[in-house]
Amino acid sequence: MDHFHYRDRALYCEGVAVEDLATEYGTPLYVYSQATMLHHLRQIQTAFADAQPLICYSLKTNGNIHIGRLMAEHGAGFDVTSGGELYRALASGGSGDKIVFAGVGKTDDEIRKALEVGIRFFNVESEEELANIAAIARQHGRKAQVALRVNPDLPPKTHVKTDTSVKGVKFGLDIETVVEVAGQYVNHPHVEIVGLHMHLGSPILSTDPYRQGSAKAVDLIKKLRHQGHTITYLNMGGGFGIHYRKQEALPAAAFAEVLVPAAKQSGCQLVLEPGRFIVGNAGILVSRVLYTKSTGGKRYVIQDAAMNDLIRPTLYESFHRIWPVRPAPGFPTPPSDYEADIPNAVRCDVVGPVCESGDFLARDRCLPPLRRGDLLATFSAGAYGMSMSSNYNGRPRAAEVLIDGRRHRLIRRRETYEDLVRPEREVPT
Ligand SMILES: *Cc1c(COP(=O)(O)O)cnc(C)c1O
Q: Where are the domains of the chain?
A: 4-32+280-424, 34-277
| Residue 117 burial by Cβ neighbours in a 10 Å radius (0-12, 13-18, 19+) | middle
Q: How far is the CA of 269 from the centre of ligand 1 (A)?
A: 19
* pLDDT given for residue 204 in this prediction: 95
Distance CA 3, CA 202 (A): 23
Mean pLDDT in residue range 186-192: 97
13 tagged catalytic: no
Which residue among the candidates 13, 268, 348, 355 is catalytic per the annotation? 355
Question: Within 13 Å, how many C-alpha atoms sit on residue 117's CB side?
Answer: 23
Residue identifier of the C-alpha nearest atom 11 of ligand 1: 237
Q: Which atom of ligand 1 is nearest the CA belonging to 384?
A: 8
* pLDDT given for residue 384 in this prediction: 98
Q: How far is the CA of 397 from the centre of ligand 1 (A)?
A: 23
CATH superfamily, domain at 34-277 = Alanine racemase (3.20.20.10)
* pLDDT given for residue 429 in this prediction: 83
Q: How far is the CA of 363 from the centre of ligand 1 (A)?
A: 27
Q: What is the pTM of this model?
A: 0.97
Mean pLDDT (the chain, rounded): 96
* pLDDT given for residue 332 in this prediction: 84
Ligand 1 lined by 63 (C-beta under 6 Å): no
Distance CA 280, CA 310 (A): 13
Looking at CATH, the fold of the domain delimited by 4-32+280-424 is given as: Lyase, Ornithine Decarboxylase; Chain A, domain 1 (2.40.37)
pLDDT tens-digit readout, 280-315: 999 999 999 999 999 999 999 999 999 999 999 999
Residue 385: C-alpha distances to residues 40, 110, 304 (Å): 18, 25, 15
Q: How far is the CA of 271 from the centre of ligand 1 (A)?
A: 12
The residue among 149, 139, 208, 199 whose CA lies nearest residue 175 is: 149
> DSSP secondary-structure letter at 117?
T
pLDDT tens-digit readout, 107-129: 999 999 999 999 999 999 999 99
Mean pLDDT in residue range 236-248: 95
Q: Which atom of ligand 1 is nearest the CA belonging to 203?
A: 7
